[in-house]
Amino acid sequence: MIDLVDADRLRDLTLELVSVESPTGDTAEVARLFARRLEQIGMDVEVLDEAFPATPIVIGRLRGGSAGPTVVLDGHLDTVPIPHAPPTVEGGVVYGRGTADMKGPLACAVETARVVKERGQFPGELVVLATGLHESPGGRGEDLAWLLREHGFEADAVVVCELGGDTFVAAHMGLATMEITVSRPGQATHELKTAAGSPHPITAAGRVIEAFAARSEELAKQQHPLVGSETYFLGEVHGGDFYNRFPTECRLVGTRRWAPGNDYAAVDAELRTLLAGVAEETGCAIELDLRLVRECYEIDPSHPLSTALRGAYEDVTGEELPVAGVKIVADAAFFHGDCGIPAVYHGPIGNGAHGDVESVPVAELVRATKVYLRTLERLWA
Ligand SMILES: [Zn+2]
């Protein structure tokens, strides 16, 4: 089956998909194009636009004719909203925003389905799924969460078609963004006209920063074997507006990342306890806006889906796919976590995701497509 993979089709479809701009939250045009391409290869296609009209969910289905598992190839059609030079192909490499992250990988999913359709009989169902609210901060996978939790989407196995081009991603961290507002009552006042002992929001924010540093030191001692240690990170501090005015507010913005074994609820509780301590000590009010981006993820490398993918990679490349963990988050967490649908990551290796110049080699698109096809063959065997 892998001999049927067509490099020119992969190149052309990737170029076509990246030629339609689709920043997070604005993917309707490319979603309809993607749906047409799935229809053309003979898939039954649904475009779900009732819940998220600006980012329709595209679901293409190929039914095999006998009983078997429903296997999903999943990806996102949105890209980061960072300008890029017009798309081109040069020396066997496709350039453009979204080539690597991840319209190229979605082209691989289409080509996989095309080959499966051409070959004919297979057990179960092959599904290509594409969403449009992946990249934070514009998206947090709200559409995928809706599809799985409210729309009742079901499947038996999922390959998320990004990450892990030359490693088996057995774990990744969970991520939440945090915005902390430290305040005192009343208006900003002259430094000398403010009652002695008034709670000082910047001083209190300093106590929060110290508490994060102390907790980070403890966390650094606990290394998860695949993803390393958990972190508190602050990227922004805003407070005060004039050198001798007593401020009313200070705002801290950052991230909290946690390892498998921990979870969002526990992270939320820990952070609220920490902030309550500083509020009590300083007399300032502290508000927390903590938002989940993705839960953490972990899969047993000897799970049948894992071994199918790892075996497929070996079939195609002759090399082993070494087990590893990554710190960044992605969508397998949605399927694999609370929905209980086993999910793995694998995609073509591109360059410059979120960077100024983004690209994917056509040879990598071909390789990844072959790995998907061999994974399917192994799951069907
Ligand atoms: Zn991506």
Q: How far apart are CA 280 and CA 25, in angstroms?
A: 40
Residues that place a CB less than 5 A from ion ligand 1: 101-102, 162
CA 162 to centroid of ligand 1, rounded, Å? 6
Residues in contact with 349: Cβ distance below 8 Å, sequence separation at least 6, in sequence order:
165, 166, 360, 361, 364
Strand runs labelled E in 38-100: 44-48, 57-63, 65-76, 88-90, 93-95
Q: Residue 89: beta bridge partners?
A: 94
DSSP one-letter code for 362: H
CA 224 to chain centre: 20
What is the whole-number distance in angstroms between the Cα of residue 354 and the centre of ligand 1? 9
Angle among Cα 150, 155, 161 to the nearest 5 degrees reads 100
**From ligand 1's centre to the CA of 82, what distance in Å?**
14
* Interval between CA 250 and ligand 1 midpoint (Å): 33
Residue 188 CA, ligand 1 centroid: distance in Å:
44
Residue 238: which residues within 8 A CB-CB, separation 6 or more? Answer: 250, 251, 253
Q: Which of 327, 280, 332, 314 is nearest to 157 (CA)?
A: 332
Give me ligand 1 centre to Cα 124, in Å.
27
User: Which tokens is 134 given?
Assistant: 């992946």
CATH 3.40.630.10 domain range(s) in the chain: 2-172+296-380
Up-side HSE of residue 58: CA atoms within 13 Å toward CB? Answer: 29
Question: Which portions of the chain are predicted below pLDDT 70?
Answer: none
- CA of residue 260 to ligand 1 center, whole Å: 21
The predicted structure's pLDDT at residue 136: 85
Of the candidates 331, 371, 363, 349, which has an alpha carbon nearest to the alpha carbon of residue 109? 371
Interval between CA 351 and ligand 1 midpoint (Å): 12
Are 374 and 316 in contact by the 8 Å Cβ rule? The answer is: yes
Which of the 8 DSSP states describes residue 148? H
Gap from CA of 19 to ligand 1 centroid (Å): 17
Residue type, 238: H
**What's the 101 CA to ligand 1 centre distance in angstroms?**
4
Cα separation of 381 and 361, whole Å? 31
* Per-residue model confidence (pLDDT) at position 268: 98
Distance, CA 193 to ligand 1 centroid (Å)?
53
Task: Count Cα neighbours of 171 within 13 Å in the Cβ-side half-sphere.
Answer: 16
- Domain 174-294 annotated CATH 3.90.320.10: no
So what's the pLDDT on residue 120?
87
Stretch(es) of the chain classified as CATH 3.30.70.360 = 174-294
The Å distance, Cα 335 to ligand 1 centre, comes to 16
pLDDT of residue 326: 96
pLDDT at residue 51 in the model: 96
CA dihedral 131, 135, 136, 140 (to 10 degrees): 20
Instruction: Answer for the pair 173, 296: CB distance below 8 angstroms, yes or no.
Output: yes
Please, is 18 exposed, middle or buried when counting C-beta atoms within 10 Å of its C-beta (0-12, 13-18, 19+)? buried
* Ligand 1 centroid from CA 127, angstroms: 19
SS3 98: coil
Report d(CA 4, CA 86) in Å as an integer: 30
Q: How far is the CA of 253 from the centre of ligand 1 (A)?
A: 23
On the question of a cis peptide bond just before residue 137, with omega within 30 degrees of 0, the verdict is yes
Fold classification of 2-172+296-380 is Aminopeptidase (3.40.630)
C-alpha 13/C-alpha 259 separation (Å) is: 37
The answer to whether 308 and 268 have CB atoms below 8 angstroms apart is no
Using the mean position of ligand 1's atoms as its centre, give its distance from the Cα of residue 288 in Å: 28
Output the pLDDT for position 337.
82
Nearest to 258 by CA among 267, 271, 270, 247: 267
- Of 127, 135, 54, which Cα lies nearest the Cα of 101? 135
Structural tokens at position 116: 């499966």
| C-beta separation of 249 from 201 below 8 A | yes
